[in-house]
Structure 1
């Protein structure tokens, strides 16, 4: 059964959160299209484990491997693809309880994004994350994600805990091969936590620069 979570009036921010039937979980799943070795988690207790939450569908409920935020309850995960993706949904398993992120903000094609970029960038879409033990399917507006080579997920706050926990991140959509060889750039896998200051105005709300 779908649960609708809207930000204000229904418009650009409307989306559905579904609990996914077993028979539908593999449909359009982009797991094989993710460049897993180059997945990066910032402000995670063990940033090198970023790729471990990118799991195949049959391991989506496994809770042996997960990410926990470090200095506070914010986390940023950069997920590159091996080609171009038209995104239609994000899959998440988080929590439990108040360790669940309040929401997730999605940015596309920002391969080197870090916390210093957040305040100056408007997310393509924001999604509420309800507390649940299940894997949730969060529908996006495909017209806003037509040609993605990467997706960055920013979790701005927990639902009450000092940290957040992420068990599983997945994506549904259509994939097409790159027409030319990508330029491979190596980014810093672990930002210095001394450099990470909590993004102000991010307790579930974004503070955008004034025009």
Structure 2
């Protein structure tokens, strides 16, 4: 299967955009790019096809992607070797920023349409969820000249809800970063290995003023490898691709598997039913033995009372011995049922 390789390459080369197209639904696209075999991989630059690969060859696909990743004119450079700008892994629809100015919100900063500016005071609380787990290596904050850029920033990780300012002020972060000397700061990498979201609490700015301005913000790291899942089975395609004999074999196999499952269920129910019957019989026998034991004990008690008023010591002794023996036999039978 080529799908896992395609997904892995999409994570490895974040500077390229990977798109899957269902040619049965997008017939115009299929005809436009003359796709006649499956799978077909196209390389497009500004909407124009510049390369093509057909067939499920993982090695050839990897070479194709690597070639165009190196030659791509829009490739985004990273100041940190081996790390990528992972801002495009942020779920922008779920982002939140407290105390942002309405005219300069967080969304403008993430989209490259302007700075993020604080409103009532210098503090900002930014919640950034990711569409998939990532490793975070470094963070870059850059403000304008004049001291309005962020200074002390608390970083929290994997908190499912947005913190309030009071909670952020009093809580212990994963790391606190000082941006007064440098714009790009490396984080404690071992503490940011499986990150689903981060929250950035900007406590103050470099100049100590009432307004904080962020003109550039970037996160460098790598995405974690996605878990591969089995693709859904298209029954119509399956029926078209298999011969009559193959379909008959599939039907026989499904019938046998169903019958085996049914027989396993039948045996399991039978075992449970027998266990219930055995337990019921044991309780019934236990009740009978307890009743017999009670009768024998009462008989022994009466015999003892009669002996006190009679001279027939021999008869009393004989009956007492017999009853005692019966009691012992009943107890011998009773003990295994109790244990």
What's the TM-score once normalised by structure 2's chain length?
Answer: 0.40
Among 126, 149, 152, the residue aligned to 1:100? 149
Partner of 1:116: 166
How far apart are residue 161 of structure 1 and its match?
Answer: 1.3
User: Which residue of the other structure, out of 67, 73, 78, is the alignment partner of 2:127?
Assistant: 78
Q: CA deviation at 1:36?
A: 1.5
Q: How does 1:95-174 map to 2 (within 5 A)?
A: 95-112=144-161, 113-130=163-180, 136-158=183-205, 159-174=207-222
Structure 1 residue runs of 4+, over 6 Å off?
Answer: none
Q: C-alpha displacement at 1:23, in angstroms?
A: 4.4
Q: Mind listing any 5+ residue stretches in structure 1 that lack a counterpart?
A: 1-21, 181-211
Tell me the distance in 2 between the aligned counterparts of 1:91 and 1:48. Answer: 19
Q: Give RMSD over aligned pairs.
A: 2.5
Tell me if structure 1 keeps the 8 A contact 2:142–2:150: no
Distance across 1 between alignment mates of 2:227 and 2:118: 37
Pairs aligned (count): 149
Measured in 2, the distance between the counterparts of 1:86 and 1:23 equals: 18
Higher helix residue share: 2
- Deviation of 1:140 (Å): 0.3
Correspondence list, 1:1-211, <5 A: 23-25=77-79, 27-46=83-102, 49-55=105-111, 65-112=114-161, 113-130=163-180, 136-158=183-205, 159-176=207-224, 179=227
Structure with more of its chain in strand, by fraction: 1
**C-alpha distance in 1 between matches for 2:221 and 2:103:** 26
**Whose radius of gyration is greater, 1 or 2?**
2
CA distance in 2, matches of 1:65, 1:81: 22
Asked if structure 1 preserves the Cα contact closer than 8 Å seen for 2:152 and 2:176, the reply is yes
Residue of structure 1 equivalent to 2:311: none
What's the secondary structure of 2:105's corresponding residue? helix
Q: Which moved more, 1:111-120 or 1:160-169?
A: 111-120
Q: 1:34, 1:115 → 2: CA distance? A: 22
Deviates more, 1:88-97 or 1:147-156: 88-97
